[in-house]
Structure 1
Amino acid sequence: MHATNHPTEPLYITWVENEQSRQARWCAENNTSPPKRVMTSGDTLSADAAYRLVSQGTSLLWRGDFQNARQLLQALARRIDKKQDGGKKKHGQDHAASPLDAFNRHRLRQSQRTDLLNRLLIELDADAGIALRRAPDVREACLAALAMPGEPFVLSLRSLQGIIGAYEWRKKGVAVPGLAQPIHVHYGVYSPNRGEYLDLLAQAPLPTTELAFDIGTGSGVIAAMLAQRGVRRIIATDMDERALACARENMDLLGFSHIVQTQKADLFPEGRSPLIVCNPPWLPARPTTPIEHAIYDPGSRMLLGYLDGLASHLEPVGEGWLIMSDLAEHLGLRSPDFLPRAIAAAGLRVIDKLETRPRHPKAMDASDPLHAARSAETTALWRLAAGGRQIAFVDNVAAHPY
């Protein structure tokens, strides 16, 4: 599920150039305010000098060679990482830190790093052209990602690189086993790159092929897999217009548009279904960018909303499939009994629980600051039914009433 907020009034960034005051539309995906201290800079600026300036709160509007700006951004990243790594060694972290402390420190370092790197800025004209030497043509990428303001605008070089990268991935697509065509992911929509949960979705026995709800569809990959498995009618919901547009495009490309209906809704559509699937964000923490709404679920709002509303939207013999990782439990963000208690409190029972281990590179990377939690992580598909307040644990674990 995605939630994207947009400011009601346009924001503008101002700076002085050639002794004249100038301004342009400010473009920031997370709706941050425009920087107040801006200076123009170019190819004669050294990486050390740039690092000092951004560390002191100055944003740099680039007027030199575009490729040199890319190299400067890489040099800034190396200096920031070196500074942060030096701080870790100085304080002896994260050996004695709890998983929760390690997570909070990791998030803080990520936020600080992003803030500093976002201080290298690029100006684009009203048509998304860049008047710099060796600048690429980014018009199509910007048109695909942004609501074009119709006037010159400024954004961070790092954001622009994200837009370019997302556009290339959108064209290429993400291969999903079992689907005839790749899933093409729009900018700002989460990519289905964690294949293990899709494996569970392909393995779980279908209770019906008549109708299914896909709650928080995102790219539409779950709806597509259900359609591929023979479900004849699917209603896919999301709150984010980008996600809905992305899902519709993928259904068209896969030939499932006559099966999958997209609908803007906060969780459930009207009515009942014999199968309701949800893959909510897995971590109960605060997102800092729109794309992070697919990863972080503050207060477990979407998870609890799905569980609490499931019984009233299921057909009497229907199933709700909840796809969740237990990474939050290993990080100390949720207690181990949180999910079983929430399932029981919602008047649901567990029919079965399919589990798998992650295969993504970070789970194998011992240098990752969250490696201890990631290496213990499992991903599960919980098959839930309405009725009863008893959790029937599987895998030879005794049932526990709550």
Structure 2
Amino acid sequence: MSGDAVIVWNEDGEVHSAQWRSESATPAPKRVVVADDRMSADTAYRLACEGTAILWRGDFQNARQLLQAMARRTERRSGRSGKPGKAAEAKVAAPDAFHLHRQAQAQRARTLGMLLLPFDADYAIPLRRAPDVRHACTEAYGPPAGPFVASLRELLGLIGAHEWRKKGVSIPALGERIHPHYGVFSPLRGEYVGLVAEAPLPAGAEALAFDIGTGSGVLAAVLARRGVRRIVATDQDPRALACAAENLSRLGFATQVEVVSADLFPEGRAPLVVCNPPWVPARPTSPVEHAVYDPDSRMLRGFLSGLAGHLAPGGEGWLILSDFAEHLGLRSRAELLTLIDEAGLKVVGRFDARPQHPRAADPSDALHRARAAEVTSLWRLAAR
């Protein structure tokens, strides 16, 4: 969140100000102009590239069209339109390809984030043809706390999250849907869920299991469906805790699964400890990215270093991890195995699955080579 930051602008010869809200903690823009339907996409894009924010006073739907036009200009400028040539494709395998990709993403986000909307104290948008977004904003932000200004791009993310929360994500291993909240990773990638659903349970796991970093609660729900009588699911993100509790209650597992606020492990030991940490050692730039990006592999290192002390005798730790970072040159297989060894653990088995998400088969994706080679693994670990 952007805290107590304030955005200031001149309008009709007077100085105005409002609270600035940004879930990605983007600083409040220092230069702001007021615009309406008369502003062209070329002008808006030029201003945004120069770091000048545009506070919209025109028609809401026209603002959406303007944002789309700005996005097209961003893509043309970065060369993202069309399929990459052989030279560009060859660069994908280089260790710095990911960082260049992230830089381009960040620049695009900064540019498109310069188109701003006003919000009233009750989350209503005082623009023509504006949708009713009060429910979506309340889900993401909590109870209203006064008028503010935020980017249209952020609002569209809130609306999308609200729709996903209503619709839910089908989980074949459960025969049910999981409903992710705003800022909580959506279990769209089913391969890691399938691995947990199919791997043989270690002895004693029917009695107790820990789910570390539960997120939406999907893996805890799968373990409960498999007959594990008691599961302790941990997370330190309030949104994830609320999301997991809601999903598990709706699925009828509230008495079977205890949702606990903790940084990694709960107290005690269990015959089975499951963790699906962020896969890429990089800095997240938005709430939902915390489930994918983990600076210096903090959660991975923490899970491995503490696992032996939380395993019951003969128990197993299941580390569900993609090798995407390995194909990007951000972490080697040798480094992962060293972390496992230094934690006093040994590998007793592994199950692999290929990703089925559309980006893995999209040759126009900037990181296609890495995505096409990616494998997600369930590492069965035991104390030495």
What TM-score, normalized by structure 2, do the two folds share? 0.96
CA contact (8 A) 1:180 1:254 kept: no
Q: Does 1:365 align with 2:371?
A: no
Task: Identify unmatched segments of 5+ residues in structure 2.
Answer: none
- Pick closer, same or farther for the CA change 1:174–1:329 going to 2, 3 Å: same
CA contact (8 A) 1:99 1:370 kept: no
- Pick closer, same or farther for the CA change 1:288–1:35 going to 2, 3 Å: same
Structure 2: distance between partners of 1:31 and 1:101: 25
Give 1:45's aligned residue: 39
CA contact (8 A) 2:120 2:146 kept: yes
- Pick closer, same or farther for the CA change 1:35–1:90 going to 2, 3 Å: farther
* Structure 1 residue matching 2:356: 3-state secondary structure: coil
Give 1:201's aligned residue: 196
Shift of 1:295: 0.4
Structure 1: distance between partners of 2:88 and 2:243: 41
Shift of 1:95: 2.7
Task: Identify unmatched segments of 5+ residues in structure 1.
Answer: 1-5, 388-402
CA contact (8 A) 1:212 1:235 kept: yes
Give 1:79's aligned residue: 73
CA contact (8 A) 1:122 1:154 kept: yes
* Structure 2 residue matching 1:95: 3-state secondary structure: helix
Give 1:398's aligned residue: none
Give 1:120's aligned residue: 115
* Structure 2 residue matching 1:182: 3-state secondary structure: strand
Q: Which amino acid aligns with 2:105?
A: Q
* Structure 2 residue matching 1:218: 3-state secondary structure: coil
Structure 1: distance between partners of 2:329 and 2:74: 28
Give 2:336's aligned residue: 339
* Structure 2 residue matching 1:32: 3-state secondary structure: coil
* Structure 2 residue matching 1:324: 3-state secondary structure: strand
Structure 2: distance between partners of 1:251 and 1:269: 18
1:240 to 237, 242, 252: 237
1:88-131 Cα deviation digits (max 9, x unpaired)? 98995353464322211111100000000000000010001111
Structure 1: distance between partners of 2:39 and 2:230: 59
Q: Does 1:316 align with 2:309?
A: no
* Structure 2 residue matching 1:275: 3-state secondary structure: strand
Q: Superposition RMSD on alpha carbons, in Å?
A: 1.7
1:320-375 Cα deviation digits (max 9, x unpaired)? 00000111111000122111111111111111100011111111111111111111
1:274-308 Cα deviation digits (max 9, x unpaired)? 11000000001111112111101111111011011
- Pick closer, same or farther for the CA change 1:89–1:210 going to 2, 3 Å: closer
CA contact (8 A) 1:99 1:330 kept: no
Give 2:377's aligned residue: 380
Which moved further from structure 2: 304-313 or 78-87?
78-87
CA contact (8 A) 2:32 2:54 kept: yes
2:104 to 103, 109, 127: 109
Give 2:299's aligned residue: 302
Shift of 1:177: 0.8
Structure 2: distance between partners of 1:36 and 1:249: 40
Structure 1: distance between partners of 2:226 and 2:85: 54
% identical equivalent positions: 59
CA contact (8 A) 1:40 1:61 kept: yes
Q: Which amino acid aligns with 1:255?
A: G
Give 2:264's aligned residue: 267
* Structure 2 residue matching 1:196: 3-state secondary structure: helix
Give 1:284's aligned residue: 281
Structure 2: distance between partners of 1:219 and 1:95: 37
Give 1:21's aligned residue: 15
* Structure 2 residue matching 1:316: 3-state secondary structure: strand
Structure 2: distance between partners of 1:231 and 1:109: 45
CA contact (8 A) 1:17 1:40 kept: yes
1:227-251 Cα deviation digits (max 9, x unpaired)? 0000010110001000000000001
1:157 to 141, 152, 158: 152
Q: Which amino acid aligns with 2:31?
A: R
- Pick closer, same or farther for the CA change 1:303–1:122 going to 2, 3 Å: same
- Pick closer, same or farther for the CA change 1:156–1:203 going to 2, 3 Å: same
CA contact (8 A) 1:326 1:377 kept: yes
1:240-265 Cα deviation digits (max 9, x unpaired)? 00000000000110000001111111
Which moved further from structure 2: 18-27 or 146-155?
146-155
Give 2:179's aligned residue: 184
CA contact (8 A) 2:245 2:254 kept: yes
Structure 1: distance between partners of 2:36 and 2:98: 37
1:40-83 Cα deviation digits (max 9, x unpaired)? 10000011111111111110000000000000000000000000
CA contact (8 A) 2:323 2:375 kept: yes
CA contact (8 A) 2:269 2:309 kept: yes
Q: Does 1:223 align with 2:212?
A: no
Structure 2: distance between partners of 1:64 and 1:355: 52
